[in-house]
Structure 1
Amino acid sequence: MIPAPLRRAGLVVTAALAALLALATPAAAHGADAPDGTDYRAEVTATSPDRPGLTARIVEAGARLELTNRTGRDVEVMGYSGEPYLRIGPGGVYENSRSPATYLNRTIAGDTQLPPEADPAAPPVWRRVADGPSARWHDQRTLWLESTPPPQVSADPTRQQRIRDWVVPLRAGDETIEVRGTLDWLPPPDAYPWWVAATLGFLVIGAAGLVPGGTAPGVRALRAVGALLALGGVAAVAFTVGRVLDAGAEGVGGVLLGLLGAQLWTLLTGLGAIAAGGYALARRGGADFALALAGACLVLFAGLANLAVLSRSVVPMAGPAVLARIIVASVLATGTGAVAAGVLRLHAAARLARPPARHPRTVPAPSAPR
């Protein structure tokens, strides 16, 4: 039987999480086709001829090409048949609704069905789609779209190798500009050591739930689990910020918008783990339940959702790939460990609170008459 305060806390936390999930789900749909990891690395090597104020880069683990134009004049991105596709300039970003690239580039797979009005030979019909000087899009020239690796990679997948050089043509008035880059295969890392580290962390943290809760060692164990869960929450927040930066966010405002958009739920999960860890450090009532619930959310939304990081060479986070793997492994270890410790402590508390079984009183049998 779970005590009444724990039941009330569980109802409040569950309702709050359900509300947050409902708010976060629509936002998470944006950028949903960005990969959680890949073994193909796309890079921009040059813009030729070089123009001050015109920059290009790859974002979202290679999923999109970003072009920023601060030259003060319009620059057009050419589509796959040489037609105008995007126009980026002082007035914002415009797309040509007659260009097939407008529709093909809406998904990373490029499998959108073309509407009847898509005709690369037709005069452009421009439609304003964004403010600002930057545009990001899936460009098939920078991606490997096949389900199987290239033949040279299949022959030797353990070696880094160049797949192709690519070019995305631009036009500024009568001038032709090229964004040049490369697409390489990077051998995937071995995920086994990371799984071992996460499992060992889970066992060590979860074992804290076996320490009797009413003792001084039990109090120290509770605080230790809370501190480690809070660190896991900090790691989840760091990963979320890194993912927003990898998606092309710039400045504090851009990062905040990214956090409140597609990454809102993961951010809230990390913050919830930090709060639950602080709750346990303060030895508040219901701390065991908070540890178990926050740990489960951390594992589901910040750990399992990013498992590809452990086995992919290119990860959707700014910074070294090995740092992303350390973060995900620590999230898995602290989250699962907090779940195990919290559940074990709850079980022990419920067993101690259970009233002792009453044994029926034995009535002596009447003696037989003599």
Structure 2
Amino acid sequence: MTRQIRSRLLGCLAAATLLLLMASPAIYAADGDVLVWQIRPSLDRLPPALDGLLVQLQQTASPRIAVHNLTGDTLEILDQGDQPFLRIGPHETAANLASTAFHRSRYAEDRQPPASAAGEPRWQRVDNGPAWAWFDSRLRVDGMTVPTLREYEDEVLVQRWAIPVRFRGEEHIISGYFLYRDAPNGLYRTRLAPDQAPADNVSVYPLAGLVPGVFIANRGNASFTVLGIENEPFVRFIPGKVLINRRSPTWRIAAPSDSPLRHDDGGEGPKWAVASTTGGFGWRDPRAFHQGDPPADRRQPAVVGDWSIPVDVEGETIEIRGSTEWLPGHGG
């Protein structure tokens, strides 16, 4: 890899690390009493032949994979029949509109593709950059059967996953595995009110965990700013990029202690830093925190509070609204 590409890759890796630290999956039934957030996909080390690709796993409403191609060559993502449905790079991302795999990859939940997803390949540009994130069916966890944890185990391997790709005329795989972790006590879930997208081609997903929050994916050309707890600029979304205000009081609370973009106390006014180059970013928002104890009856789901997050869209303030709910864990 050239020095310039390696430098860009290291910068993107820092942003990817932050995104993975911030994100937690939402909660849906997977198999019986097992919850989706208890099954987490992990990524194997990429083979040397794929050097120059930045690959991330993003924990949103369903596991999502993001690829940033910094090589200058085209990367093709193959479906289960080994046919390409995405072409990423070097100057744009294109999708095969005749592929059912592409249409299914646009949504966190499984949906039937449109009738037009048939016939000869029809390639169309879907992004002006060499990066794309999608919900690959090979990362879906619903319906998985998990092994029983033994007394000395914290987590167990459920199964492996693999996504075939074609690069520089050869086929390779991006692969990994699913781990199951037991959750005896339960956790909090962020629930969103209907129709919460602040702009066209923007999706908002809930995050779950001891400190719940939200994940926003901007797939279009919208520009907007999420405001913080003191009405300060907090997170800025522009086409193909997300920036975080390192001087935001909200970021002081939300940032992980080992984040590469730690809170900056010095100076006046916002200090912006790139947090994502794929248009998506998730954070644990203090407005969704529940400060008290879990409900008295921890065996039943219960709403513990309502919240709202203001978003500035071209001078107009729009609110993302939702509630925080206690959800009992497996055996809780």
Q: TM-score, normalised by structure 1?
A: 0.44
Highest RCO, 1 vs 2 (Cα 8 Å, sep ≥ 6) = 1
Q: TM-score, normalised by structure 2?
A: 0.49
Structure holding more strand per residue: 2
